[in-house]
Amino acid sequence: MTGPRYTPLVESLPSTVPFVGPETQERARGRPFRARLGANESLFGPSPHAVAAMAAAAAEVSLYGDPEIHALRTAIAAHHGVAPDQVTVGEGVDGLLGNLVRLLVDEGAPVVTSEGAYPTFAFHVAGFGGRLHKVPYQGDHEDPEALAAEARRVGARIVYFANPDNPMGSHHPAASVRALIEALPEGTLLALDEAYVELAPEGTAPEIAPEDPRVIRFRTFSKAYGMAGLRVGYAIGARDLIRAFDKVRNHFGVGRIAQAGALAALEDRAWLAHVQAEVQAARAEIGRIAEGCGLTPLPSATNFVTIDCGRDGAFARAVLTELVARDIFVRMPFVAPHDRCIRVSCGRAEELRAFAEALPLALAAAG
């Protein structure tokens, strides 16, 4: 009796978990965290209107969701001034990135990203056998000029660029994004990840014609809209590319409750403004806490603050370990020199008080 016959590609890959969840850590530790400040979730919660819409939809959860996701796609299109057939919706940006890679990347195909950038995209590329080419950051920012130059050098199918950036929280102005688009070689697609853009300064998101075949832009309901547990993201792009997603997407992957909740969240602009104000205040408070301990908070255009611990990766990992030991869940960048930092999500007053109490103790214990 034999088991399944894996492909040679799958046989060659390690078992990869891009992020170890806080629940996994809590099970290993045998107790919960006091403050969950590591996953870049919105601790300010979703729109109450979205919660009510999901509760109402729960009564119909015996029914599949609309496989065309018509109402939500139409609302997203109106929100951005594009046509519904220029929008696709999927299981978070992660799921949509997987579909994009499946469409464009086969074994050996060159793909360009930044060393230390959001790892799930690289995970998808490896899973389809693509060849990753990575360029270093320029300081604490992704380097658009280096990305474009590497794309020209290798003939990249895709360039992945997040603006604002995770894990550093930095951002580029719209003009830099437009310059990157213009510098791409023929046949290269820019995957522009704008998961945090609702929390960024005015002028971060460029005007891009949706039919521009060089770009697909990704947005999510997981960050500013506070619905990470739903897994709803969307992409805006040229009609031909958006139609191609129908060849590979999971047509029932966005359930009935998720569609109702995301639609109500999109319509509640007052709640979005409330969360934006809360994030701005929390970023300032995290900065004060860091500076009070002699650390340097980096400027942030996201719902987290990356804190420079002032030494090397070993020291930052020790600080993180000591925070976790004090029941504070945080994360950190994983590539030098950015691993000199820890990354702290914006939270409510009680979570930030717990962080403020634990940080000086963690620093002392780390040496």
Containing structural domain, residue 278: 8-45+270-366
The amino acid that residue 25 corresponds to is: Q
From the list 166, 173, 25, 32, the residue with the least C-alpha distance to 94 is 166
Domain count of the chain?
2
Residue 2 lies inside a defined structural domain of this protein:
no
Q: Are residues 115 and 103 in the same domain?
A: yes
**Residue-wise pLDDT tens digits, 71-86:** 999 999 999 999 999 9
Residue 53 lies inside a defined structural domain of this protein:
no
Of 232, 267, 302, the residue that ends a domain is 267
**Residue-wise pLDDT tens digits, 182-211:** 999 999 999 999 999 999 999 999 999 999
Q: Are residues 138 and 200 in the same domain?
A: yes
pLDDT tens for the chain, 367 residues long, are 788 988 988 888 888 777 888 999 999 999 999 999 999 999 999 999 999 999 999 999 999 999 999 999 999 999 999 999 999 999 999 999 999 999 999 999 999 999 999 999 999 999 999 999 999 999 999 999 999 999 999 999 999 999 999 999 999 999 999 999 999 999 999 999 999 999 999 999 999 999 999 999 999 999 999 999 999 999 999 999 999 999 999 999 999 999 999 999 999 999 999 999 999 999 999 999 999 999 999 999 999 999 999 999 999 999 999 999 999 999 999 999 999 999 999 999 999 999 999 999 999 999 8
**Residue-wise pLDDT tens digits, 251-265:** 999 999 999 999 999
325: Cα separation from own chain's centroid = 26
List of E strands, the chain: 35-36, 87-90, 110-114, 131-135, 158-162, 189-193, 215-220, 233-236, 296-297, 304-308, 328-329, 341-345
Q: Are residues 204 and 64 in the same domain?
A: yes
Q: Are residues 198 and 328 in the same domain?
A: no
Q: What is the pTM of this model?
A: 0.95
CB 97 within 8 A of CB 237: no
From the list 89, 228, 218, the residue with the least C-alpha distance to 164 is 218
